[in-house]
Chains A and B, each alone.
Chain A
Amino acid sequence: MSSATAIHDAHDDHGPSKGIMRWITTTNHKDIGTLYLIFALIMFMIGGAMAMIIRAELFQPGMQLVDPAFFNQMTTVHALVMIFGGVMPAFTGLANWLIPMMIGAPDMALPRMNNWSFWILPFAFTMLLSTLFMNGGGPAAGWTMYPPLVLQTGDAFPFMILSIHMMGISSIMGSINVIVTIMNMRAPGMTLMKMPLFVWTWLITAYLLIATMPVLAGAVTMLLTDKFFGTSFFSAAGGGDPVLYQHVFWFFGHPEVYILILPAFGIISQIIPTFARKPLFGYSSMVYATASIAFLSFIVWAHHMFTVGMPTAGELFFMYATMMIAVPTGVKVFNWVSTMWRGSMTFETPMLFAIAFVFLFTIGGFSGLMLAIAPADFQYHDTYFVVAHFHYVLVSGAVFSIMAAAYYWMPKWTGHMYDEKLGKIHFWLSAISMNVLFFPQHFLGLAGMPRRIPDYSVQFTGFNQISSIGGFVFGLSQVLFCYIVYKTIKGGQPATDNVWEGAHGLEWTLPSPPPYHSFIEAPAVK
């Protein structure tokens, strides 16, 4: 450790510049990672506030708080903000912080691009959120932006398209950086099959991003030209086909789903071994499972559109392909359970979130399997059952993994232990309220409540009330999370270098907090 400290001291002279310019001009992977994470947290709270409006309106039947048009804007912008502003930047932030430290590199490979890819985001989201105040309101056609409905959007339309382009460019630049860093900057001896799983899952995610974000950009560009330049890619009147948009969108959209979950798999695969004090079970099968999920994600897109009237052969193909995804995903869950099996477990907050992830993500996986059965999907499709499904995989999946990661690595990042007691309170509040929030939505969907409706028949009242109460508690407990983060940054019990008794990996060999440039001299990897 003493050598690392010496490096730290020696490089103080070209450390960060002072004040706000440090953050605007930074090319440092840790600063940019921090910016990403804080941005994600802000977006998470903004998107969450929109969810609170949705749940408040749905607390009882009848329209009380907002108009149906505004309600649709809330569901649309909530999704866009959470996906592109919350989960994706959070994962990119984690990648920035952790990948160089995990592979023994001093920084990311392309630091200036790294700066751009972050600083595009605040502009993109300012633009997106500003549409809510425009004539005719924000986009209200759902985050999937299906034409012809989306073409009825008011002044917000070009702003929405442009902000999606910017988010796409940001993600693509971030991914290029991740790939180049992993491919070129590993410490000697760090072969691909020795990389921590978080690095592996991010590498695969980055390839998915590079392959799919341009397709989304293409799809929304076609929407733009359809609306303003007289093309008719998606308009039947000019010989186009609105269903074609859905194919192009979901060709992006399904891999996107895995972009939102693969890094989570990586995080969980780092955390469980640490607290089970036992190596990850089936490392190589985890890598292969991740790769096969990524591959399968490209050939299952049409399961989002079973009801558009595809030929039966198409429905059968997409049904079978979708069911196959359960196999590699199952392998991952079994591996995590086997890692816990006969370990010596302790249950600090990151581990609690990780166990909740395995449990709740798997429930989301089960409902996903049910949705894959095409004839049954004719009933489930576009109901609250689907809403419950994707919130189980995204909230108790992606978001819980990010929370777990935050608790797990925050002592390393800040040099301070977080408040374990508050962390546990935050966990139990989140985990319980999350289930109160989303579990009843399965019943609502099965009982026949369509999604994206601002008002509902009286028979759905009970479950909606339970769900809303869960929602409010979940929302409030995230305020506690913000406080815990703030408190940890400000101070707290100093963290040791290793932080956790069972932690292994290069990042734990660095001091807490780590030096401004992670590894000036490449560490030796056995």
Chain B
Amino acid sequence: MAVRGAAAFSSLLIPMGASAEYGLNMTEGATSLSHEVYGLHMTILWVCVVIGAVVFGAMFYSVFKHRKSKGAVAANFHESTFAEFAWTIVPILILVSMAIPATKTLLAMDDLSDSDMTIKVTGIQWKWKYDYLDEDISLVSNLAPEHAKASQRNSGIDVTKIENYLLEVDNPVVVPVGKKIRFLMTANDVIHSWWVPALGWKKDAIPGFVNEMWARIDKPGTYRGQCAELCGKGHGFMPIVVVAKSEADYKDWVAMKREEKAATLASADRAWTKDELMKKGQQVYTTTCMACHQANGQGLPGAFPALAGSPVVKGPVEGHIGVVMNGRQGTAMAAFAGLMSDVDIAAVITYERNAFGNDTGDVVQPSTIKAARK
């Protein structure tokens, strides 16, 4: 009822805007935990509303009634032990009654036993990596390329036309419904925080440490979230998409992912044409490199080096491969050897060496990268 009232209020307040979905309240979510959290939120909200009504009621009554212009004469009382005692005790009782359900929910969240599967979530500037520890598959989840392009400053793209702007990824994390999923959180560089409101919580991903939390999703659907801990320039651009599928669909997905993995490995062995590599490379560049090095390869002076005309990119191929695979210590340039496939690395290097006016004409084959890993 409260939600409906709030929704009516919102429609009154904001007639403008294209989308009619104005969230006013916390989502009830799709897990047992999120329902409990929602319940707690609504209870404490109403407790506050009631206390507020009483206190502000008294205050504004006084403001309107006890004013000099209405001839009010000031009384002279200025203390009352009873009153002080009462308004110490009553709030304590209210707080205790709030603390009990909150404690229960917290203990429920802590119960990580008997989980059915484990997904390791790794926060990386600025993407998420998911490892299905029981299935031996892993995927890297970037902001979808179309969104990455549109979010460039003055991109000229009308972002209101993009569905789920900034809340779409190239590889969503797929999970089965009805299973207790344990999430292990960690990070590769700085602290991130993994938050999908529909699951009812967020948890920090801290480099060098693991945190755990669980969720059991009730119904199939797509649940979106974002990184919630400031993690640098791309903090607003590392969304999370959880797709919950029925058990059978999930199995199919796992099988498909395995096939994909094998295909990717195999494709590293064949010779790729320059056009194929350039096309693939542009995709990889958009999702992985553009946030820092910018769409035009100019970088951001002082913060991120330009690739256009860069001595690394225009210099020997081996040096370029080395920087991409090993990263640069102490900077935001990660070691991508463990994060990208041979094909992706080869493609993006080929792209960088031929885009932005670099025109070196070099083509780097996936097999070269594969060999470099030995």
Contact = CB atoms under 8 A, between A and B. Distances in A.
Q: Do chains A and B touch in the complex (CB under 8 A)?
A: yes
Interface of A: 61-69, 72, 134-137, 140-142, 146, 148-149, 152, 154-155, 236-237, 241-243, 276-285, 307-309, 312, 315-316, 319-320, 323-324, 326-327, 330-331, 333-334, 337-347, 355, 358-359, 362-363, 366-367, 369-370, 373-376, 378-379, 381-383, 443, 446-448, 450-459, 461-463, 465-466
Interface in B164-210: 164-167, 185, 189-191, 193, 195, 197, 200-204, 206-209
Given A279-B76, A320-B99, A381 B202 contact: yes
Contacts of B153: 63-67
A345 B77 contact: no
A358 B55 CA distance: 10
A424 B237 CA distance: 43
B62 interface: yes
Nearest to B231: A149
B193 A307 contact: yes
Given A62-B155, A376-B44, 15 more contacts: A63-B152, A141-B232, A146-B190, A341-B66, A342-B77, A344-B72, A345-B66, A367-B48, A369-B48, A376-B40, A382-B228, A443-B23, A443-B24, A450-B228, A451-B230
A236 B207 contact: yes
B370 interface: no
Given A154-B303, A316-B106, A448-B27, A72 B233 contact: yes
B12 interface: no
A63 B129 CA distance: 26
Nearest to A312: B110
B41 A312 contact: no
Contacts of A308: 204, 206, 211
Which of A64, A141, A323, A347: most chain B Cβ within 10 A?
A323
Question: Which bucket holds chain B's interface residue count?
Answer: 35 or more
Contact of A462 (B17, B48, B226, B332): B17
B102 interface: yes
B134 interface: no
Interface in B127-175: 150-155, 157-160, 162, 164-167
B281 interface: no
Given A331-B87, A456-B236, A345 B68 contact: yes
Contact of B75 (A148, A278, A463): A278
B252 interface: no
6 contacts: A277-B68, A277-B74, A341-B58, A370-B45, A379-B201, A446-B24
B344 interface: no
Given A61-B159, A64-B154, A383-B228, A447 B24 contact: yes
Contacts of A345: 62-63, 66-68, 72
Given A135-B302, A278-B76, A382-B193, A140 B159 contact: no
Contacts of B200: 378-379
Contacts of B230: 72, 141-142, 146, 149, 451-452
Given A278-B78, A346-B68, A241 B98 contact: no
B83 interface: yes
Contacts of B83: 282, 334, 338
Contacts of A141: 230, 232
Contact of B37 (A69, A378, A443, A463): A378
A401 B234 CA distance: 37
Interface of B: 10, 13-14, 16-19, 21-27, 36-37, 40-41, 44-45, 48, 51-52, 55-56, 58-59, 62-63, 66-69, 72-80, 83-84, 87-88, 91-92, 95, 98-99, 102-103, 105-107, 109-110, 150-155, 157-160, 162, 164-167, 185, 189-191, 193, 195, 197, 200-204, 206-209, 211-212, 225-237, 300-303, 331-332
A461 B303 contact: no
A71 B240 CA distance: 22
Given A237-B208, A382-B228, A346 B190 contact: no
B79 A281 contact: yes
A312 B108 CA distance: 10
A319 B228 CA distance: 21
Which of A347, A446, A457: most chain B Cβ within 10 A?
A457
B236 A68 contact: yes
Contact of A149 (B105, B154, B226, B232): B232
A57 to B, nearest CB: 10
Contact of B55 (A236, A277, A323, A362): A362
Given A341-B62, A376-B44, A450-B227, A462 B16 contact: yes
Contacts of A337: 55, 58-59, 62
A423 B79 CA distance: 33
Contact of B91 (A146, A320, A330, A443): A330
Closest 6 CB pairs of A and B: A236-B208, A447-B23, A453-B236, A309-B211, A378-B201, A366-B48
Contact of A379 (B14, B26, B74, B103): B26
A457 B332 CA distance: 26
Given A136-B302, A458-B165, A327 B58 contact: no
B362 to A, nearest CB: 31
Contacts of B228: 307, 381-383, 450
Contact of B36 (A237, A362, A375): A375
A185 to B, nearest CB: 27
Given A375-B105, A448-B23, A334 B55 contact: yes
Contacts of A369: 44, 48
A154 B302 contact: yes
A331 B17 contact: no
